[in-house]
Structure 1
Amino acid sequence: MENVERNIGEPIGEVSFNGSKLGISNGLNKFQLKTETFFVKKGYILLIIGFLLGRALILSKLTPFALPFFAAVYMVRREKAPLALIGLVAGAATLSVIDAAYTFIVTFLFLFLLRVSKKLLQSEIRALPFYVFGTLLLGKLGKSYILTNQVSLYDGMMAGVEASLGFILTLIFLQSIPLISVNKRRQSLKTEEIVCLIIMLASIMTGTIGWSVYDLSVEHIMSRYLVLVFAFVAGATVGSTVGVVTGLIFSLANVSSFYHMSLLAFSGLLGGLLKEGKKIGVAIGLFIATLLIGMYGEGSGNLLNTFLETAAAVVLFLLTPQALTSKLAKYIPGTPEYTAEQQQYMRKMRDVTAQRVEQFSSVFQALSNSFSSYDEQNEWDDKERELDFFLSNVTEKTCQTCFKKEHCWTRNFNTTYDYMKDIMTEMDQNNGAVSPKLSREWDKHCTKSKKVIDAVYQELSLYQANQKLKKQVQESRKLVADQLLGVSTVMGDFAKEIQRERDNHHKQEELILEALQEFGIHIEQVEIYSLEQGNVDIDMTIPFCNGHGECEKLIAPMLSDILGETIIVNSEECSTYPNGFCHVTFRSAKAYAVDTGVAHAAKDGGFISGDSYSTIELGCGKYAVAISDGMGNGERAHIESKETLELLQKILQSGIEEKVAIKSVNSVLSLRTTDEIFSTLDLAMIDLQNASVRFLKIGSTPSFIKRGNKVIKIQASNLPMGIIQEFDVDVVSDQLKAGDLLIMMSDGVFEGPKHVENYDLWMKRKIGELATDDPQQVADLIMEEVIRSRSGFIEDDMTVVVTKVKHNTPRWSTIPMQKYRQKAN
C-alpha cells in the first residue's frame, strides 16, 4: 500500500495543484458575482454615485448634478430612488448643512410637482428635463431670497445656468444610468451613449475634488486612470475624447485645473496610439504626456507631484483585471473584442438559421416519404377490396332475389366468384363485350345470366371512373412527393451554404492591393468573398476611370495571373461624376461560353406568334435554352407558351432539379384550366464547366448538333405538357465540344418544308450544307430555306434557336505577376 501511495503521489500532487488553481478561480468568480449582485442588482452603487454627485460643484458654487441624477434614477429604477436620495443628501452634507437641506427640499419639490401634474402628462420621460429645469430654477431663486432677502440679477443668471445644466444633465443621466444599473444589456454602445457615460463618470469624479492622499490629488489620479482604461480599451480616438471631456468638466468645477484638460487629452491620444504595447505602452504614453505638459502647466516645481499622481494612476491601471477591460471592450464598437463578440453572435445566428432550415428540410423529406409510401402490396389489397365491393353491388341487385342463391354462393362460391370476375375483366378490357365462350359457360351456370351481365355493365362505368380517379390521386401523390423532395434538397443545400465558414482573406486582400498599386493602379478598397477554385468572388472600389476600361484590360488580367485561373469582370457600376468611385465585381470565368442566334416568324406573317423561346443563365454554372409551342396560333397560344417558360425559369432558378421542375410545370398546366390548351417544351441544359448537355423534350420536335460536317439528331418522345398529370420525362444526355452548333426548332420549322416525305433527312442535309458557323446566320438561313420551300407562305408559327459552344477565351492576355503569384499560393 505504501508503494502504491508513493507511485501515485506525484499525480495526486499535480491534481491537487490544479485543483487549488481551480478553487482560486472559482473563488474569484464567486466574489465577482457577489460584488456585482451587491452593487448592481441591489443598487448600492447608486448610493456611492449619489454621494459623489451630491458634493460635486460647478464654478465652485453650483450643484446641478443632484436633482438630475435623482430624477433619472426615479424614472429608470424607481425602487432604488431612496438609496440615491440618501447618497445625494449625505454628499451635500459634506459641503454644508444648508446644501443638504437644499438638496432634500428641491427633491421633495420635484416629486410634488411631478405627482400633482402626473395625470396631465402623456410621457413622463419626455417631460422630465423640463420638470428638472423648473424645479432647479425655483429652488435656486428661493434659496437666494431666503439667504439674502433679495434676488439680484447675478442670482437670476446663476439660477438660469444651474437650471440649464440640470436640463442637459437629465438627458445625459437618462442615457447613462441604464448602462451601469442593468446587469443584462445588448452587446453594443451607441456613440452618444459612450459620450454620456464619459460625462457621467467625469461628473462623479468631480465629487472627489479636494480629496488628497499624501499630498496627491485623488481627482487627478482617478481622471488619469479613467483615460488610461479607455485609451487601452478603445484606442486613440476614444481615449482623447475621454481626456477632453473629463478635463473640461474638471476645469468647470475648478478653474485651476484648466491645464489638466491638455494633459488628459494628450495622454489619451498617446496612450491610444501606443496600445499595441499592451498596458505598458499605454502607461508610457501617460508618462510622456505628463512630462511634456507638466513642464508647461504649472512649471517644474509641481512636476514631482504630477509625476507621482501619474504613477499612482498607472499602478491602479496595472492592477485592473483583464476581465474588466475585456468586458468593457465588448460594448465599444471598433474594438477587436467587440468584433469578436459580433462575429460570435452572427455565427450563432447563422447556426440557428441553418438548423431551422435543416429542420424544414427534414420536414419536407418526411412529407415526401409519407406521400410516396404507397407500396405495391397496399395497391394489390386495395384492388382486391374494390373488386369484392364491385361484385357485392352486382349480387345485391341480381342474386339476392334469386331462388338459386344458396346453390351458387354457398355450395359453388369459388366458381361463381371466378365467373363474375372474368366477366368484369373482359368487359373492362373489351369495351363492355364478353367473349362467346364465357357467355355460353355463364348461361349454363346462372339462370339470370343476361340480368347479371347487364348489372355488371352498369356497375363497370362507376368502377372505371373510380379507378381513374384513384390513379389520378396516386399520380398527384407521386408528383407532390417529387416536388417536396426537390424542395427538401434545395433547403438542405441552402443550410450547408449557410454553415460554410466565410474565411478571412486579409492577407490576400493586402497582397492584391499591393500588387495593383505597385503596377500604378490606384485601388480604394478590395474585398475578397471567395478564393475557391472556379468560384472566385472579389469586389473592388476604384476611382473614376473615365471609361478607359482599366478593370477589363489591366486588373482582371493581373488577377488571372495571381490566382492562376481566368478572372473576368462580372459586373461594373461606374460613377456618374469625375470624383466618384466605380464598384466592380470579379468572378471566375467558365470553361465554356455560348453564343445564341434566334429567328422566328408568326403564322401568315402576323405580329403574335404562338411560339416562345428563352435563354436562361442559371447561377450554378448552367445555361438553359428552351422553346415552347402553344397549341394553335395567335394570342392564346402565345400566352400559354410564354407562361410555361416563365414558370419553368422561376422553378429552375430556385435550384430544383430540371425533371422535377418540368413535372411541376406540367402539373400546373394540367390543373389550371379545363380548356384543351397544351404546349410543348424543348429544353437543353448546358453545363458551362464541361460542356455536357441534357435534353428534356416534351412533345417537341428533334434537335440537331452540327459538329463540322457531321450532324447528330437528338430525339425523345413525350406527350405535350398539360394533357396528362403524370408522365415520364425522357432525358437524353450528350457531350458537346467547342465549335459545336446546337440547333433547336419548333414544329413549324421541322415540318414546314413542302413536298418532303422525310423531314429528318431534309433537315440534316440542309444543316450539313451550311457554310457558316455564326449562330444568327445559321438560324436565318434555316428559316429562309423553310419559307422558300413554301413559296414564301408561312403556314405555322416558326422558331429556330441556334447555340454555339466555344472555349471561354479572355479578351486580354494575363499580365505576369510572378512575385505575387508565389505569395498568393
Structure 2
Amino acid sequence: MEKPNASLIEPIGEVNLHTPKWNFNYGFKKLQFLLESFFIKKGFLLLIVGFLLGRALILAKLTPFSLPFFAAVYFIKKDRAPLALIGLVTGAATLSLGNAAFTFIVTFLFLFIYRISQKWLNNEMRALPFFVGIILGLSKLAEAFILSRAITLYDVMMVGVQASLAFILTMIFLQSIPLLTANKRRQLLKTEEIVCLIIMLASIMTGTIGWKVYDLSLEHVLSRYLVLVFSFIAGATVGSTVGVVTGLIFSLASVSSFYHMSLLAFSGVLGGLLKEGKKIGVSVGLFIATLLIGMYGEGGGSLLLTIYETAAAICLFLLTPQSLTSRLAKYIPGTPEHMAEQQKYMRKMRDVTAQRVSQFSNVFHALSKSFSQTDAFPVENEDEREMDYFMSHVTEKTCQTCFKKEQCWAKNFSTTYACMEEIIHEMDQNDGNISLRMSREWEKLCSRPKKVYETIAQELTFYQANIKLKKKVHESRKLVADQLLGVSEVMNNFAKEIQRERENYYKQEEQIMEAMQGFGIHIEQVEIYSLEPGNVDIEMSVPFCNGHGECEKLIAPMLSDILGETIVVRLEECATYSNGFCHVVFRSSKAYTVDTGVAHAAKDGGLVSGDSHSTIELGLGKMALAISDGMGNGERAHYESDETLKLLQKILQSGIEEKIAIKSVNSILSLRTTDEIFSTLDLAMIDLKNASAKFLKIGSTPSFIKRGKKVIKIQASNLPMGILQDFEVDVVDEQLKAGDLLIMMSDGVFEGPKHVENYDLWMKRKILELETDDPQEVADLILEDVIRSKSEIIDDDMTVMVAKIRHNTPKWATIPVQKMKRQA
C-alpha cells in the first residue's frame, strides 16, 4: 500500500493516479464505520443473533437458548432488550407458532418475577442464572402438562437437561454478549471469555442448520470458516479448541453432524501449525483435514460435497479483510498483534509517566528559580532606607518632644543627621559604647544626649535581631533553592531513564545460546536487557550445577570474550532440586576496584569516638569515602559526625550532585540547632570506570596519595560544616592510577605528633617509609606512629582511612569463542 502523502511528492499531472485509491480507502473506512454504527451501536446485531438463537435446537427438540440470551441482554443492555426479544420470537416462529408463543410468554414471565424479586437481591448477576434455569424448567413442565395432561419421567429428565443448559448458557452469555455490544474494547480477552465467545458463536450457527445454498450446508461452511479464522489468528491450540467446541455444539444439535467434530478439530490443529504460511497455509491445512476425515464419510458423493463446502469456507476466509483479523487478534493473548498492542500500551504509559515526572521536575526547577531570583535583585538604597527607619524610630522617642527640634532638624539637618548616624555606627560596632570625641561633639548639639544614647541602644537590639532574622530567611531560602534544584535534576534524570526503551536483542540472544551450546553448556533461556558498554545486563537460566561454579568459571569468561569486556556474576539463585534451573544475572565489571582499611582510636582510649567514617557505594559505578570529625569528643561529637555522614549518604544515594548534597547537609546542620556544634567532612568520590577522583574538604585536614616513591598532597580550604550556611565548596580533581594508596585522616592524626613544626613533611616522610601497600596495615602503622610520637597519649580522637586502587582482574580468564563475532 502506498503512503497517503505520496501524492504530495508526485508531479501535478500524476495526482489523479493516486486519488481513486485514496477514495477507495476512505470509502471502505466510511462503510466500516456505518456498519459498526448500525449493527453494534444501534444494536441490530442482537436482533440477528436473537433470530438465529430463537430457532436453534439441541437434540432436535430442545430450545434452551432464547431465555438465557434475553436475560443476559436485559441485564447488560436493557435498552436493547426489545430488539433481542423481537429476534427471538421471529426465529422461534420459523420453527412453529407454538415455539414463538412459548418464547414470548416465558420471557414476560421472567421479566415479571425478576422485577418483583429484584429489590431483595444482593447480587443480581449471581442470581440471574438461577432465575433463568428455574423459570424455564417450571415453564417447560407446565407446557408438558398442558399438552399431554400428564408428566412422565422422560419429561422430567428433558426439563432438567433444558434447565441445566439454560443455567450454563446464561453464565456463558453474560461473558460473551459484552463482546458484541462494545464498539471499542481495550482489555484483552481472558481464556474464559474466548471459550464463551466460541460457544456463543457455535450456538448462533446452530440456527442455520437446515439452510442450504446450492446443496451446500451453511452450518458446515460457517463452522469451517470460524475454525480458519481462529487458527489463523491464534494458532493450533485455539484453533483445535474452536474445532472441538463447535463440533460438539453441532453434534448436540444434530446427531448426523457428529463426525464433523473430528474434521473441525483436525483442521484447527493443521491450520494452526501452518499459520506461518499466512492465509494460504491455513487454507491448505483445512483442505488436507477435509480429505483425510472426509474419506470416512458416506461415499464419494459425500466427500465431493464436503470438499465443496470446504472450498466455500476457504473463499470466505480469503475474502475476509486483514483489518478484521488483526483487530480481533489484538484481544487474544499470545498473538503478535496482542504483543504489539501491549508494547504500544506500555510505551504510552511509559511516556505519560515520564512526562508527569518531567513536569514535576520543571515545577521544582521553577520553584528553585523563584527562590533564587528574590535575592538576585537587591532593593536599591536598602541600607539608606534601613538607616532612615532607624533614625525615625529614635527621633520619635527623643527629638519629637524636645524644644530644640526646630534648630536641630530644620536649621542644621545635615550636621545632626551625620552626627547621629556616626553615633549609631559606633555603638553598633563597639557593643553600645561611643568614643569620647563623638560624645563631646554630640553633647554640644543635643540637649538630651543620655536619652538619645539609651534609645539608640534599645533600638539597636531590635535592629540587630531584624538583621539576623533577614539573614536567616535569606539562608533558608538559599537552602530551599539548592535542594529544589537538586530534586529537579534527579527527577529529570529519572524521566530520561524511564523513556529508555528496552531494545530487542533476539539475534544476540540466539548467538549467545548457540555459542554456549557449541561449547557444551546447555542454556535454558537468555534475556538481554542491555549491551551498552560498561552497563551490560544479561539474565540466564542454566541447569543445576551442584555447586561446581560453572557460571563464574565458564559462562562469565565466555561472555567476556564475546562482548569484549569483563563480565562477572552479580547474582546467582541456585535451584533447590537437581533437575531444576539456576537463575543467574551477569553484569559488567568495573575497570577498577577499591580495597579499604580503617584504624581509629578515641580520646584517652575511650569507647566512643567523635570521629565517624563511612564507605558509600553509589550507583553508576561510583564509590565515596568519607570521614567526619565532630567538634570536641564523646557522645555529642560522635552524634554530630555520624549524623553528618548519614545525611550525606542518603542525599548522595538519591542521585543529587555532590556539591549540592554537601551544601544541603551543611544548611541542615546549621539550622538544626543554635549550639555551636560543628563537624568537618573529608569526602573522596572515586569513579570505578576510569579511577578519576573528586575531593571535597570541609574544614578537614589534607589527604595524601602515595604513588610509588612519590607522595601527592590534596588540600582545600573551607570552614567546618555548620558555621556558615552560604559557602562555596572547593572541589579538587585528581586522576588516580592502579596501585595508588589514598590516605585520609582526621585532625587528631595529622596534627597529633608532638614537637613537630611541619606536619606535612612529617606525614609525607612516614608515608614514604611504609614498606607495605595493604590498606589495613598502612592505616594501623600510621596510627601507631602518631600515638608513639605522643608518648602513647591519645589526647584527641583519631581516624585513618586508607584505600588502594587496583585493576579489577577477574578470577577466571576469558574463554575464546571462535565461531562468534564480538558484539562490542
Q: Structure 1 435/675 Cα, relative in aligned 2: closer, same or farther at 3 Å?
A: closer
Cα separation, 1, equivalents of 2:605 and 2:107:
92
Cα separation, 2, equivalents of 1:428 and 1:21:
90
In the TM superposition, 1:657-696 aligns within 5 A as: 657-696=657-696
Query: Is 1:511–1:820's contact at 8 Å kept on the other side of the alignment?
Result: yes
Instruction: Kindly state the Cα deviation for residue 659 of structure 1 after the two structures are TM-superposed.
Output: 1.3
What SS does structure 2 have at the residue aligned with 1:821?
coil
Aligned to 1:650: 650
Query: Is 2:173–2:200's contact at 8 Å kept on the other side of the alignment?
Result: yes
Aligned to 1:571: 571
Question: Does 1:129 pair with 2:129?
Answer: yes
Q: Which moved more, 1:483-492 or 1:420-429?
A: 420-429
Aligned to 1:546: 546
Cα separation, 2, equivalents of 1:818 and 1:389:
87
Aligned to 2:722: 722
**Quick one: which amino acid aligns to residue 720 of structure 1?**
P
Cα separation, 2, equivalents of 1:11 and 1:686:
63
**Quick one: which amino acid aligns to residue 277 of structure 2?**
G
Cα separation, 2, equivalents of 1:776 and 1:816:
37
Question: Does 1:616 pair with 2:619?
Answer: no
Encode CA deviations 1:465-498: one digit per residue, 9 max, x unaligned.
Answer: 2112111211111121111111111111111222
Aligned to 1:703: 703
Cα separation, 2, equivalents of 1:11 and 1:797:
87
Instruction: Kindly state the Cα deviation for residue 435 of structure 1 after the two structures are TM-superposed.
Output: 4.2
Cα separation, 1, equivalents of 2:377 and 2:135:
89
In the TM superposition, 1:362-381 aligns within 5 A as: 362-375=362-375, 378-381=378-381
Aligned to 2:148: 148
Query: Is 1:210–1:217's contact at 8 Å kept on the other side of the alignment?
Result: yes
Cα separation, 2, equivalents of 1:523 and 1:383:
78
Identity %: 75
Question: Does 1:530 pair with 2:530?
Answer: yes
**Quick one: which amino acid aligns to residue 664 of structure 1?**
S
Instruction: Kindly state the Cα deviation for residue 197 of structure 1 after the two structures are TM-superposed.
Output: 0.8
Q: Structure 1 675/576 Cα, relative in aligned 2: closer, same or farther at 3 Å?
A: farther
Query: Is 1:294–1:300's contact at 8 Å kept on the other side of the alignment?
Result: no
Aligned to 1:318: 318
**Quick one: which amino acid aligns to residue 65 of structure 1?**
F
Instruction: Kindly state the Cα deviation for residue 450 of structure 1 after the two structures are TM-superposed.
Output: 4.7
Query: Is 1:68–1:166's contact at 8 Å kept on the other side of the alignment?
Result: yes
Query: Is 1:557–1:567's contact at 8 Å kept on the other side of the alignment?
Result: yes
Gaps in structure 1 of 5+ consecutive residues: 1-7
Cα separation, 2, equivalents of 1:99 and 1:140:
11
Cα separation, 1, equivalents of 2:254 and 2:698:
90
Aligned to 2:66: 66
Aligned to 1:3: none
Aligned to 2:19: 19
Aligned to 1:50: 50
Cα separation, 2, equivalents of 1:11 and 1:660:
60
Q: Structure 1 195/552 Cα, relative in aligned 2: closer, same or farther at 3 Å?
A: same
Aligned to 2:626: 626
In the TM superposition, 1:319-718 aligns within 5 A as: 319-375=319-375, 378-718=378-718
Cα separation, 2, equivalents of 1:397 and 1:89:
104
Cα separation, 2, equivalents of 1:696 and 1:522:
50
Cα separation, 2, equivalents of 1:639 and 1:150:
96
Instruction: Kindly state the Cα deviation for residue 211 of structure 1 after the two structures are TM-superposed.
Output: 0.9
Instruction: Kindly state the Cα deviation for residue 46 of structure 1 after the two structures are TM-superposed.
Output: 0.6
Q: Which moved more, 1:326-335 or 1:622-631?
A: 622-631
What SS does structure 2 have at the residue aligned with 1:624?
strand
Encode CA deviations 1:62-111: one digit per residue, 9 max, x unaligned.
Answer: 11111111111111001111111111111111112222222222222222
Aligned to 1:270: 270
In the TM superposition, 1:160-179 aligns within 5 A as: 160-179=160-179
Cα separation, 2, equivalents of 1:425 and 1:597:
56
Cα separation, 1, equivalents of 2:410 and 2:143:
119
What SS does structure 2 have at the residue aligned with 1:535?
coil
Q: Which moved more, 1:213-222 or 1:627-636?
A: 627-636
What SS does structure 1 have at the residue aligned with 2:593?
strand
In the TM superposition, 1:31-50 aligns within 5 A as: 31-50=31-50
TM-score (norm 1): 0.95
Query: Is 2:624–2:686's contact at 8 Å kept on the other side of the alignment?
Result: yes
Instruction: Kindly state the Cα deviation for residue 445 of structure 1 after the two structures are TM-superposed.
Output: 4.4
Encode CA deviations 1:470-528: one digit per residue, 9 max, x unaligned.
Answer: 11211111121111111111111111222223221111111111111111111111111
**Quick one: which amino acid aligns to residue 768 of structure 1?**
L
Cα separation, 2, equivalents of 1:12 and 1:799:
84
Cα separation, 2, equivalents of 1:748 and 1:299:
107
What SS does structure 2 have at the residue aligned with 1:29?
helix
Cα separation, 2, equivalents of 1:580 and 1:473:
64
Query: Is 2:515–2:819's contact at 8 Å kept on the other side of the alignment?
Result: no
Q: Which moved more, 1:506-515 or 1:561-570?
A: 561-570
**Quick one: which amino acid aligns to residue 408 of structure 1?**
C
Q: CA RMSD in A?
A: 2.2
Cα separation, 2, equivalents of 1:603 and 1:92:
101
Q: Structure 1 601/576 Cα, relative in aligned 2: closer, same or farther at 3 Å?
A: farther
What SS does structure 2 have at the residue aligned with 1:743?
strand
**Quick one: which amino acid aligns to residue 251 of structure 2?**
S
Cα separation, 1, equivalents of 2:638 and 2:217:
90
TM-score (norm 2): 0.95
What SS does structure 2 have at the residue aligned with 1:577?
coil
Instruction: Kindly state the Cα deviation for residue 570 of structure 1 after the two structures are TM-superposed.
Output: 2.0
Cα separation, 1, equivalents of 2:584 and 2:74:
55
Cα separation, 1, equivalents of 2:645 and 2:298:
85
Q: Which moved more, 1:74-83 or 1:347-356?
A: 347-356
Cα separation, 2, equivalents of 1:749 and 1:85:
95
**Quick one: which amino acid aligns to residue 715 of structure 1?**
Q
What SS does structure 1 have at the residue aligned with 2:296?
helix
Instruction: Kindly state the Cα deviation for residue 599 of structure 1 after the two structures are TM-superposed.
Output: 2.2
Q: Structure 1 542/381 Cα, relative in aligned 2: closer, same or farther at 3 Å?
A: farther
Q: Structure 1 402/623 Cα, relative in aligned 2: closer, same or farther at 3 Å?
A: same
**Quick one: which amino acid aligns to residue 816 of structure 1?**
P
Aligned to 2:109: 109
Cα separation, 1, equivalents of 2:384 and 2:374:
16
Q: Which moved more, 1:464-473 or 1:762-771?
A: 762-771
What SS does structure 1 have at the residue aligned with 2:258?
helix
Q: Structure 1 776/346 Cα, relative in aligned 2: closer, same or farther at 3 Å?
A: same
Query: Is 2:626–2:684's contact at 8 Å kept on the other side of the alignment?
Result: yes
Q: Which moved more, 1:722-731 or 1:102-111?
A: 722-731
Aligned to 1:762: 762
**Quick one: which amino acid aligns to residue 188 of structure 2?**
S
Instruction: Kindly state the Cα deviation for residue 718 of structure 1 after the two structures are TM-superposed.
Output: 3.0
Aligned to 2:240: 240
Query: Is 2:692–2:734's contact at 8 Å kept on the other side of the alignment?
Result: yes
Q: Which moved more, 1:449-458 or 1:648-657?
A: 449-458
Encode CA deviations 1:403-442: one digit per residue, 9 max, x unaligned.
Answer: 3333333344334333332332333333334345544544
Cα separation, 2, equivalents of 1:195 and 1:207:
19
Cα separation, 2, equivalents of 1:285 and 1:391:
104
Cα separation, 1, equivalents of 2:233 and 2:411:
101
**Quick one: which amino acid aligns to residue 354 of structure 2?**
A
Q: Which moved more, 1:35-44 or 1:760-769?
A: 760-769
Query: Is 1:476–1:726's contact at 8 Å kept on the other side of the alignment?
Result: no
What SS does structure 1 have at the residue aligned with 2:389?
helix
Query: Is 1:543–1:582's contact at 8 Å kept on the other side of the alignment?
Result: yes
Cα separation, 2, equivalents of 1:367 and 1:376:
14
Encode CA deviations 1:41-78: one digit per residue, 9 max, x unaligned.
Answer: 11111111111111111111211111111111111001
Gaps in structure 2 of 5+ consecutive residues: 1-7
